[in-house]
Chain A
Amino acid sequence: MILLILGITLLLGGGAMSGLSKQLKMDHKTAKKVLEGAPVREQALDLIGSMQKLSEESMKESQKLLSEAIKAGRDHERPSADLVTLTEPHVQKIAELDSTFLDRRDALRAALTPEQWNAVFADSLAKPK
């Protein structure tokens, strides 16, 4: 059970925000338009850009975890406990990225009025995935 167990498990190992990059790219594009002329525009764009990068980083971390564990798990002689140890630093890193993502969101929330916020995110909310 190398690929099935590891591949699929680790395939599910990404953080909560691992798959948001595309969505955030769209949010960034919307923010550029709807915040035109607003003093907070640059700050908001930086924060959304940062959130997108964090999402990408989380995805990359998941992929690293996946490839390392697959490689190790292919060895029949290697106990599964070894693989758990191997994945721990990546899981920890993903948790840190999730937390930083929420910090950025908090900062964005503090920078924008509710109306600005809704203008940025209403568009992407309305679109199907």
Chain B
Amino acid sequence: MAWYKGMAGPLVIIWIVAFIILFSHYYPGTVMDSISSTLYNWGIIAGSVIIWVGLINVCYYAYRDLKRKAPGRWYFAAFQLLIIILILASGFGQGETSYQPGANTIINWLFNNVYQIGAMTVSAMSGLYCVTATYRAFRARSAEAALFIIAGVFVMLRNAPIGGVIWAGFPIIGEWVVSTIYDGIIKTLYICMAIGILAYVIRYYMGKEKAALGVLE
């Protein structure tokens, strides 16, 4: 088998692309800049194509569920297909500007009156769970838990607009909890994440992350 037909072909492309982008990042002002810029543009085009691949994938699985009348799922699949067809028909039928804000189109109506409201409602629901959590879960069963609750109360009083009005010290203590204790932890987390990403990238460039190259073991 020719060398480029296995994993080596895609890996060579990845190495070249990575070299150009890294070179342009660390040594700006060379010819690599324009090549790197073109590569980013290619990335955008590939991203747009991937959206279509995703759409085909979603349609395929929804259609399959509908055809098989998958128990507990087929009606969701039917609804999903209906919405996809409606949006595509509206988009293609009502023209290029149908998605633009303010346009009186089916896409905009669905987006403003169904999706936007639904998404915000689901997001806001978590606030209600927080209230039950404060009453049912925040118990000072141990010294550590008590410390955790006290720190939490100070952060709450820092976040509440009235906290600083009740006592000017609340935001200062809350800020200390966040900037001194929390910041150290989050910075450690970031560093660990960065090391993890670096390790992954090295493995990827060495061809050890085969799934990314389309090789399933």
Q: Do A and B come from one complex?
A: no
Residues of B participating in the A interface, judged by any CB pair closer than 8 Å = none
